[in-house]
Structures are given as C-alpha cells and as structure tokens.
Amino acid sequence: MARSADRDLSRIGWLDYVLMGVCSCLAAYSGGMSVQSHQIGYFSVSLVVVGTIVSYFIRLRTLNTSVIKWDGYIYSGVVVASIYFGRDLGSLMPEGGFPREIAAAGWLSWMLILGSFATWQDSTLLFQAIPCLAIFGLVGCYDTYSGVTFNFFVFLICLATLFARAHGRQMLRQAAQSGYFTRGLAPGTPIPSVETTPGLAMDLKKGPWRWVAGPEWALVSALAVVLLSLIGAPLIRNSVSGVAGMVTLPPPPLKTPSFSPSQSIQNVEASVSIGRGPNHLLPRPVLEARLDKLRYLREQTFLSYTGHGWQNTPTHTGQADIQTPTDIATVEMLKYNSYRFDVTVLQPLRYLPLPAEVNNVQVDRGGVASRYDGTIQISFVTPYETHVSGQSFEAAPDVLPKDAVKDVQSTGLLDVANIPADVTQLALTVTKDCKSDYEKVQRLEDEIAKRIVYNQDVEQTPSGKDPVAYALFEKHQAYCDIYASAMVLMARAVGIPARYVQGYLPDNRRLETNGMYLVSDQDYHAWAELMFKGVGWVVSDPSTKASAVKGKGIGDGSSSSPWYSQGPVASVLNAMIVVVLAAGVFLAFRALKINRRSANPRAELEATYVRFCKCLERRGGHRRHVSQTADEFLAAVRPRLGAFVVDAEKLNDRFVLMLYGSTVPTSHSVAGLKKDVGTFIKALSKEPIPGKEMQS
C-alpha cells in the first residue's frame, strides 16, 4: 500500500504551507515585538495566516493551468510595491506602523504579508524566508525582544524541513526528466508529472537517487545548529565582549513600552499606587549613564501617603510654598563636592532620571526645567536618543549625617496622616533607645529588612488592607515600593523628615566596557530620602539589606509562572497558538470540502482514480507501480476482491475510457463516477481486510 507520506513528498501539500506559515508568523510577530507592539505583531500574523490559506487554495485550483506560473511575477511586484509604497502601507498598521528609524521592518513585514498571497510553487514558497531572515536580523541587532532567540530557532527548524522537502521535489523532477520513471517502457511513453502523480517519491528511493537527503536529515541538521548555537554563542559573546562593548546600537523607540512603575506616573503625574502585585519587568534599555560611581538616579518624588499609595497634593507643588524641601536641603548642605554625569536617553521619558543634586544640565534636544523637588522635567517627551550632560553635587565625605532637620512643617515631609497605628508603634519601639536620628534610620532599615523578604512576584495587597502594614506584619514579602514606603512612614513616625522617591538604580552587572551603565526597565526602583542637618538629602533603601527570593531580587526579571507562561515565551506561544488554530480550521475546512466538484473535470477525475487505487491497494495488498496499467493493477489485486470483482471491473473500465479513451470527461460524468466510487469504497470497507501483509 502506498504510504500517506508519498503524496506529501511528491508534491507541495498542506504541510509545506503550514511550515512556511509558521516561519512567516514567527518573523512577523518578532518584528512587531521589536518595538513592543502586540498590535503590530498580531496584525501581521493574522494577514500572513489569511494569505497562506488563500495561496494554498489558489494552488489547488490552478495546479493544471498556466496561472500557477504567474506567482513569480506577482511576487516580484509585491517586493517593489512594499518598498515604493512602504510609508503608505505602514500607515495602515496599528499605531501608525514602525518608527521611522526602522522603516525597513515595515516594508519587510508587508513583503511577508503580501507575498503570502502569491506562494504557489516551491520557488516563491521558499523566497518567503528572505524577508523573514531580514526581520530576524533587525530584531537581533536592537535586542529589544528577548523572545526572538526562541522564535528564530523554531524558524530554523521549520525552514530546514521545508527546504529539504522542496529539494526532494526538485530531485523528483530531475529524475523524471532523466527518464528514470519510464525506463523499460515503450519509446514515447509520457514522462509522469511530479505534481499530479502520487508515489514517485517512493519509487525514487529504490534506485541510485535514494541517497538524496530528505527532511529527516534537514531536521537533524537544524537541531544540531540550534544546539551548537546555545553552547557556542555565549562563548563567542564573552570572547569578543571587549571589542563589541565599544560599539552600541541604540534600540528603536518602542510603540507601547513594556510595563514599568513609571508608566502610571507619566500618565498621572501626581499619584502612584503600591502593593499592586507581581511586577513583570523586561530588560528593555531605557538609558545609558556615565557616572563616577554607582548612584541612584532620581526621577520623581511624592509626599502624601494615601493608605494605598502616594500623591502630590496641590499644596506640595511648590507653587504655594515659600520654602521648598529642595531649598532647605540645599541650604543644609554646608560642605559639598561636585561631579559630572552623562546620560543618553533611549526611550521616551517625561522626567530625566539624574543623580541628585543637579546643579546644571544641558540637553541636546528640547528645553528643561527644574521642579520644586529637585527633579528635572523636559519641555516635551524626550525624543529618540537624547543626550544629557551636567553636574551634580553631594555632601563632602567628611560630613556625616547625625541629626535630622526639624523645621520643615510647611513642606509635608513630616506628614503623619494615614500612617497605621501599628506601624507607628513599631517605629517607636525599635528606636526607643537610639542616641541620634541617624542611628534611628539604621535601626529602622534593619527592622524592615528583617521583616520583609524581597520578591517581585508577591501577590497584590488584599482590598481593605494597608500595603505597608500588611507586608510588615502579615505577608512578610514585597518589593521596592513597600520597602521605600515603610521607611518613609516609620521615619516620619519618629520625627525624621522623609519623602518617597522613584527612579533607577543601575546594576553593576550591566556596566559596559565603555564605562557606561546600561539601565533598563528592570532597574526601575523606589527608595526613601531623608533630610539631615549639614548633609541635605540622605538615601535610605532597606531593600538593599533584605534577603530575596531567588531570581526575584532587585534588578531581576520576575515571574512566578512556569517558563511557558512568562512574558516573552508566552507571547511566542500565543502567536503560535493563533497559527495552529488557523491551520486547524483550514485543515477541517479542507477535509469537509475536499470532495467538492473541481472546475477542472480532468483533475477531479485523476484525484478520484487515486482514491479508487488506494482502496484497491488496501484490499489487494499490492502497491500500484507507476509502470502498471490500470488493467494490470486490477488483475494483480483481483484474487482478494471476492464478490466485489465485477463492480471493480466496471469502475476500472469507466476510468480507462475517460482517462485514456476518446471520451472527454465532463463535470457531470466525473461527478457520477465519483459518487459510484464512494459507494464502492463504503461497501468494500465493511468487509474484513485479509491479514496478509503488504507486498512491495
């Protein structure tokens, strides 16, 4: 009996379209995620799936016509149109398409989308890999989507399998042209068509062509490449890091930046919530900073505690206060040293994360303004790759904090409203025998760090509970926003002026060889700032003293979910699920509609005869060879047909007459024969199949 794989190996089938559809969808989705836009990714994937299905049906309908040869010309037009009309096509995508800096990703995506409608032969089907590889190259250069590695490995495996299948079909064509399949037959015997003759691949393996590499070898080779890449890439990266670190390629501006605590602030400047649950941060580069040492980069400050977060009330905007907290802190800093900084902003920001206290600042694009709290606001959202330089100052090293500033009542720094009573009582108990305010700070930091374990995947604070009190007395797990809030509240409870601060804490693990800290979303952080005499603002960060859940500490990406449901992997799997579901719908539709009347009666007649032969093969235990005539094949299986011999002979005679006689098949005659074949197969299938093994 002919194996079902024969047909797939002899001609382009649904599996080939699924393989290239997966390749195209992975590339298209990765392109959208390179700018953190799920909308662009899903938009491209959806159109690619539709185009792939349309191409498959066009191929089925035009297999025996000259129309199928037009795909190369159509695809060439697609390439030209995608480039020439790239801007107009980009505007049709969600969010206006790709940013100007990576416009090439836009027309490459449209080449994939439009090209998927014109892949009717092996040549165009494989050409889809070209824009796929180009998109993967762009995404890999910018390194803004961590899931691209997984996507690319799956792409390689699918492409290698598809290429091997296409190569096998090309070998079949060459074998047919060489006369391999008509050897020993009468001169002038027509060369069998690879596209319409099943079983050729099986015959090919019996002769000298059997050593042609097949899909199995391609799959093994692709898996070997993936394995070598996983092992060898880190070694190569480490060996060239000294040189590669001198070259930086800033990422493109993202469409919808990945989640970070700053996003809510940028939209609602006056408030921020705490205790919101798992904090999933991606390694999206935000800025590069050249600093004299590791420093906190202040972005925004907050004064009023609401019981579920922080806000800046109108009385704390600096418009009504004669003396602001920053004014007091500056006056208190009697002895200070200055230092320089250079920052390159890689993503749109409203406030500039800079080391405090800023003395002067220069921005190469746009103007800046100093706010009441000492932070720096730019006149508009920072554009792509803004360079910021300036000078900050800090208390001299020999000036140590001891006593807190007390005369700050009008600033809100000692506001004790909404502080839970048990939090106040804990602060007083811990600091009751301290001899200085700074000693109180150290005691409070130690107590908070002892009570709370750092965990970026901690659950959201239950409704109705104070986030700080819940973490200190019940949950005993939190991340930076709770540590900072607890420190501010407890410091105020013992008379030390404090405020809640958000910004970035660079990671020494991401100090590049060019001396720049690469700061990402994972470095977004919160801490407390306390005001001391002679020193000004003093950073207090209990989270740096606390123990942490493995992999969920400061600067780590976080997710308590299984690996397959984490951010980048989940996005890839969701895209693949969409493709698989679309392929399932397509196959179900194909299975239901495969028996529809074809517009070409001859093609429908040939397909019906193939179905008839397969039925006889199962019953007779013989596979029909290409060299056998219809009558010879029927004679070979006759002994095992029993009572169905007469019906089989009648059907066979009708096939011979319509396939090789003078009778021209019509849609009506083919439909009648097809119906009779179906009835014959159904009746024959009810009889037990003899247990005799198949003969080759």
The 3-class SS string of 22-59 reads: HHHHHHHHHHHHCCCCHHHHHHHHHHHHHHHHHHHHHH
Percent of the chain exceeding pLDDT 90 equals: 18
Q: Which residue has the tokens 């989940």?
A: 570
The reply to whether 492 and 605 lie within a common domain is: no
The DSSP H or E segment spanning 531 is: strand 524-532
| Residue 465 forms part of a structural domain | yes
Helices assigned H by DSSP within 182-309? 200-204, 215-244, 262-267
Q: List the one residue out of 539, 498, 531, 540 whose CA is nearest residue 332.
A: 531
The reply to whether 540 and 640 lie within a common domain is: no
| Residue 391 forms part of a structural domain | yes
Q: According to the model, what pLDDT value does residue 428 have?
A: 95
| Residue 271 forms part of a structural domain | yes
* Other Cβ atoms within 10 Å of 228 Cβ, number: 10
In whole angstroms, what is the distance from residue 574 CA to residue 584 CA? 15
| Residue 433 forms part of a structural domain | yes
Q: According to the model, what pLDDT value does residue 595 have?
A: 46
Which residue segment(s) compose the domain that 108 sits in? 14-171+567-592
| Residue 633 forms part of a structural domain | yes
Note whether 369 and 376 are within 8 A (CB): yes
| Residue 213 forms part of a structural domain | no
Q: List the one residue out of 600, 590, 610 whose CA is nearest residue 197.
A: 610
Banded pLDDT at 453 (limits 50, 70, 90): very high
Banded pLDDT at 498 (limits 50, 70, 90): very high
Q: Which residue has the higher pLDDT, 104 or 589?
A: 104
Q: Is 90 exceeded by the pLDDT of residue 425?
A: yes
Exposed e or buried b per residue across 668-679, where buried means at least 16 C-beta atoms within 10 angstroms of its C-beta: ebbeebbebbee
Q: Out of 17-26, 35-44, 97-106, 681-690, give the one with best mean pLDDT.
A: 17-26
CA angle 315, 320, 324 (to 5 degrees): 85
In whole angstroms, what is the distance from residue 671 CA to residue 406 CA? 97
Q: Is 70 exceeded by the pLDDT of residue 602?
A: yes
Phi/psi at 255 (nearest 5 deg)?
-75, -55
Note whether 530 and 496 are within 8 A (CB): yes
Greatest alpha-carbon pair distance for the chain in Å reads 114
In whole angstroms, what is the distance from residue 495 CA to residue 419 CA? 13
Q: Is 70 exceeded by the pLDDT of residue 617?
A: yes
The reply to whether 408 and 555 lie within a common domain is: yes
Q: According to the model, what pLDDT value does residue 53 have?
A: 92
Give me the sheet containing 368-370, strands edge to edge.
351-352, 376-378, 368-370
Cα end-to-end span (Å), the chain: 8
* Residue 234, Cβ density class (10 Å: 0-12 exposed, 13-18 middle, ≥19 buried): exposed
What the block records as the tokens of 143 is 């390194």
Q: Out of 171-180, 219-228, 362-371, give the one with best mean pLDDT.
A: 362-371
Q: According to the model, what pLDDT value does residue 496 have?
A: 94
In whole angstroms, what is the distance from residue 629 CA to residue 589 CA? 34
The reply to whether 650 and 506 lie within a common domain is: no
Q: According to the model, what pLDDT value does residue 361 have?
A: 83
Q: According to the model, what pLDDT value does residue 4 have?
A: 42
Q: According to the model, what pLDDT value does residue 492 have?
A: 95
Cis peptide before 606 (omega within 30 of 0): no
Q: According to the model, what pLDDT value does residue 241 have?
A: 43
The reply to whether 528 and 647 lie within a common domain is: no
Helix/strand/coil for 69: helix
- Cα dihedral 11→14→17→19 (10° resolution): -100
Domain count, the chain: 3
Q: Which residue has the higher pLDDT, 234 or 389?
A: 389
The reply to whether 414 and 471 lie within a common domain is: yes
The reply to whether 165 and 307 lie within a common domain is: no
Q: List the one residue out of 583, 538, 573 whose CA is nearest residue 437.
A: 538
pLDDT tens track for 109-159 = 888 998 889 888 888 888 888 888 888 888 877 666 767 888 888 888 888
What the block records as the tokens of 241 is 């890091």
Note whether 295 and 355 are within 8 A (CB): yes
Note whether 605 and 659 are within 8 A (CB): yes
Banded pLDDT at 237 (limits 50, 70, 90): very low
* Residue 115, Cβ density class (10 Å: 0-12 exposed, 13-18 middle, ≥19 buried): buried
Q: List the one residue out of 490, 474, 471, 488 whose CA is nearest residue 421.
A: 490
pLDDT tens track for 52-89 = 999 888 888 877 777 778 888 888 888 888 888 877 78
| Residue 693 forms part of a structural domain | no
Q: According to the model, what pLDDT value does residue 473 have?
A: 95
Q: According to the model, what pLDDT value does residue 589 have?
A: 61
The reply to whether 281 and 371 lie within a common domain is: yes
Banded pLDDT at 432 (limits 50, 70, 90): very high
The DSSP H or E segment spanning 21 is: helix 14-33
The reply to whether 526 and 622 lie within a common domain is: no
| Residue 179 forms part of a structural domain | no
- The predicted model gives 653-657 an average pLDDT of 87
In whole angstroms, what is the distance from residue 33 CA to residue 575 CA? 11
> What DSSP character marks residue 695?
B
Least confident range from 21-35, 94-108, 255-269: namely 255-269
Q: Which residue has the higher pLDDT, 177 or 427?
A: 427
The reply to whether 81 and 46 lie within a common domain is: yes
Least confident range from 74-78, 221-225, 351-355: namely 221-225
Note whether 131 and 108 are within 8 A (CB): yes
Exposed e or buried b per residue across 276-286, where buried means at least 16 C-beta atoms within 10 angstroms of its C-beta: bebbbbbbbbb
In whole angstroms, what is the distance from residue 601 CA to residue 669 CA? 9
Q: Is 50 exceeded by the pLDDT of residue 245?
A: no
CA contacts within 13 A on the Cβ side of 624? 25
Q: List the one residue out of 528, 362, 558 whose CA is nearest residue 459.
A: 558
Banded pLDDT at 359 (limits 50, 70, 90): confident
Rounded alpha-carbon distances, angstroms, from residue 402 to 399, 438, 442, 680: 9, 5, 11, 100
Q: Which residue has the higher pLDDT, 113 or 346?
A: 113
Rounded to the nearest integer, the mean pLDDT of the chain is 77
The reply to whether 314 and 290 lie within a common domain is: yes
The reply to whether 521 and 578 lie within a common domain is: no
Q: According to the model, what pLDDT value does residue 262 have?
A: 37
Q: Is 50 exceeded by the pLDDT of residue 393?
A: yes
In whole angstroms, what is the distance from residue 133 CA to residue 27 CA? 8
Note whether 375 and 351 are within 8 A (CB): yes
Q: List the one residue out of 87, 72, 187 whose CA is nearest residue 120.
A: 72
In whole angstroms, what is the distance from residue 263 CA to residue 482 CA? 18
Q: Is 90 exceeded by the pLDDT of residue 540?
A: yes
Q: According to the model, what pLDDT value does residue 166 have?
A: 81
Q: According to the model, what pLDDT value does residue 555 have?
A: 64
Q: According to the model, what pLDDT value does residue 5 have?
A: 39
Residue at a domain's end among 592, 609, 637 = 592
Q: Is 60 exceeded by the pLDDT of residue 250?
A: no
CA angle 354, 360, 363 (to 5 degrees): 70
In whole angstroms, what is the distance from residue 177 CA to residue 448 CA? 81
**Which residues lie across from 336 on neighbouring strands?**
395
In whole angstroms, what is the distance from residue 377 CA to residue 612 CA? 78
Contacts 24+ apart (CB under 8 A), 603-609: 603/63, 603/64, 603/196, 604/667, 604/670, 604/674, 605/655, 605/658, 605/659, 605/665, 605/670, 605/673, 606/196, 606/659, 608/670, 608/673, 608/674, 608/677, 609/655, 609/659
pLDDT tens track for 268-279 = 356 888 988 887
**Which residues lie across from 360 on neighbouring strands?**
391
Q: Which residue has the higher pLDDT, 267 or 203?
A: 203
